[in-house]
Amino acid sequence: MRFVIRILISISFMFLVAVSCGCGNGNISNNADAKPESTPPTISDGPKIIAYGDSLTAGFGLASWEMSYPAMLQRSVDAAGYNYQVVNYGRNGDTAEAGLKRLWLALGVSNIKIFILALGANDVVRQTPPDEIKRNLSEIIRQVKEKNVKVLLCGIYAPERYGPEYGNAIKQMYVNLARENDVLLMPTLMQDVSDFPERMLPDNVHPNEEGAKVIEKNVFAAVMPLLEKDVQEKKK
């Protein structure tokens, strides 16, 4: 019994040391003045732009959530004088099917005005048939539009390593998807990024901070007509 007690005391001591050293999250700091990283702001009651996608939206590999393209988009929207909150609903590893399954969470947010849909990259990596990707994305768009929300559909860059036939089929799938559902299309989320190594992380899949800046610039330009349209509709 005494042996068991000694073991428990030792374990408790090791736990306390680990916590005090910050080992629980892999970050060790001796700076007593170090401040914790900021967290995304609380979701407000105001009009919103939902950025919905996978790791390209979530900001995988970036040092902070503030470097993700949706966070940068918030700053551009603010600077342009629009009172809209950008909410990042990106999740690492999501396929179009996974995005459809968790869509109810995003659509539970109040006062959504614009929905940026950027899914399909993980499907392309798996070489999922275009028709299957399209079916899931179509259902996402249908449910979003039922909420009277404007949609910006972002296509996915399909590199040549998957073969020109598959790449062209993916490209055409997004074109058809946008036309059939009457939504605005940004041909590829990774425009001016994928083909520039200096804008990519070492994995050559995800954008670095410079790449995220380019994505944000392109998305902001694409979303501006939807913002202006929504503002004009409010005035009527």
The full DSSP string for 162-205 is G-HHHHHHHHHHHHHHHHHHT-EEES-TTTTTTT-GGGB-TTSS
Residue 206 counted as domain residue:
yes
Please indicate, yes or no, if residue 15 is contained in any of the structural domains: no
Q: Which domain holds residue 150?
A: 48-230
Number of structural domains (the chain) is 1
Tell me the pTM: 0.82
Residues 133, 120: contact at Cβ < 8 Å? yes
Is 65 within the bounds of a domain?
yes
Phi, psi angle pair for 80, to nearest 5°: -80, -5
Q: Note whether residue 4 is domain-resident.
A: no
Question: Mean pLDDT over all residues of the chain?
Answer: 85
b/e 41-69 (16+ beta carbons within 10 angstroms → b): eeeeeebbbbbbbbbbbbbbbbeeeebbb
In a domain, 81, yes or no: yes
pLDDT score recorded for residue 26: 32
| Most confident segment among 50-54, 163-167, 231-235 | 50-54
Model confidence band, residue 12 (pLDDT cutoffs 50, 70, 90): very low
Please calculate the CA angle 138-52-191 and round it to the nearest 5 degrees.
Answer: 90
SS3 34: coil
Confidence band, pLDDT 50/70/90 cuts, at residue 73: very high
Residue 40 lies in a domain: no
Task: Provide the pLDDT for residue 180.
Answer: 98
Residue 149 and residue 167 in contact, taking contact as beta carbons nearer than 8 Å: no
Res. 38 pLDDT band, cuts 50 70 90: low
pLDDT of 7 higher than 90 = no
What is the model's pLDDT at position 63?
Answer: 94
In a domain, 235, yes or no: no
What is the pLDDT, as a whole number, of residue 29? 29
Task: Provide the percentage of residues in the chain whose pLDDT is more than 90.
Answer: 74
**Nearby residues of 98 by Cβ (< 8 Å), 6 or more positions away:** 91
Within-domain flag for 34? no
CATH code of residue 82: 3.40.50.1110
